[in-house]
Amino acid sequence: MINKTSLGCQKDEFDLKRKFTVILVKPEKPENIGLVARCMKNTGFESLRVVGINTFAQKSYLTAVHAKKILENASLYADLDEATSDLNLIFAATSKERKNFVLFPLEEAVTRMFQFPFSTKIGLLFGCERTGLTSEELKSANITFVIPQASKQPSYNLSSAVLITLFQIFNYNQTKEDNGVRREPISRKEQEECIRLILKKLEGKKFIHKGNKTHVTEMIYDIFGRLTMSSRDRRLLLALFSKGVNKRE
């Protein structure tokens, strides 16, 4: 069970520590976990979640240096759904071209992060060092972003990718104002439930079938992820797909 802190802060007490959570999926090298904690400490972030490991090795604490407390307070999860369920938005980093997912430059992704109310809980998702995030894991994200680099290979080290992302957020927060123009999204768990219901309706109507299931499913997750679904959006979508899709011509 995770102890959740209320994020309904006013503008003058806006705190990156409470708004953003770094999520590492199945990291392979314990040294990198410690380096990520150090990067978080350097840029003013504290909330860390790690998927796919049961405990931190001593090497993680050695490379964390003065950021050991971040590791001590980190939450470990068996699966990605559990790690993201209570957050509102998930922004995922990738270095690969993705056929069925729209990729945003990091700078644009960060701008989008600050277009929501201060209480919006945002997860920053990073894959393992060797393979990055799989297409299945990207389905848990609302927005997928890429970090600019001079050459595609080799890609950034995990801790470097985290540092660049966090510094961009930190710097944006120092120079820009959050106007909170969009409605706060529902939790990622609620978004997932809505998307699954839509997929079920589309399968029932044979729009999704064995020949196109993977392709269309990924595109549906990408489209409705980028919608950053609010409660009102969910009500409309469920009404459309429950009544509109079932309506006889």
| Torsion 105-145-132-52 (CA) sign | positive
Domain boundaries, position 198:
188-244
Based on the domain organization, do 117 and 219 belong to the same domain?
no
Distance CA 58, CA 242 (A): 52
Q: Does residue 83 lie within any of the structural domains?
A: yes
Q: Classify the phi-psi angles of 134: left when phi > 0, otherwise alpha if psi is within -120 to 50, otherwise beta.
A: beta
Q: Do 113 and 38 reside in the same domain of the chain? A: yes
The number of domains in the chain is 2
Same domain, 71 and 161: yes
Alpha carbons 151 and 194: distance in angstroms, whole number = 39
**CB neighbours of 162 closer than 8 A, spacing ≥ 6?**
22, 36, 39, 40, 124, 126
Same domain, 60 and 168: yes
* Same domain assignment for residues 144 and 199: no
Question: What sections of the chain are H helices per DSSP?
Answer: 16-19, 30-43, 58-64, 68-72, 80-84, 106-113, 135-138, 158-175, 188-204, 213-226, 231-239
Give percent above pLDDT 90 in the chain: 62
pLDDT, one tens digit per residue, over 36-75 is 999 999 999 999 999 999 999 999 999 999 999 999 999 9
End-of-domain residue from the set 118, 149, 175: 175
* 181, part of any domain: no
CA dist., res. 28 & res. 25, Å (int): 9
- Is position 249 within any domain? no
Considering the domain architecture, whether residues 157 and 70 belong to the same structural domain is answered as: yes
Does 3 fall in a domain? no
pLDDT at 155: 81
Q: Is residue 2 part of a domain?
A: no
Q: Which tokens hold the place of 107?
A: 């700078």
- Where is the domain boundary, 116, 151, 175? 175
Q: Over range 83-89, report the average pLDDT.
A: 96
Q: Are residues 160 and 114 in the same domain?
A: yes
Q: Are residues 166 and 203 in the same domain?
A: no
Bigger pLDDT: 130 vs 126: 126
124: domain CATH number?
A: 3.40.1280.10
Q: pTM, whole model, 2 decimals?
A: 0.84
Do both 167 and 46 map to the same domain?
yes
- Give the model's pLDDT for residue 4: 33
Same domain, 170 and 200: no
Residue 6 lies in a domain: no
CB 84 within 8 A of CB 23: yes
Give the pLDDT confidence score for residue 60 in this predicted structure: 97
Mean pLDDT of 151-168: 89
pLDDT tens for 221-248 read 999 999 899 999 989 998 888 775 555 4
Q: Tell me the torsion sign for CA atoms 117, 106, 85, 186.
A: positive
Of 27-31, 95-99, 217-221, 222-226, the least confident? 95-99
**What's the DSSP call for residue 54?**
S
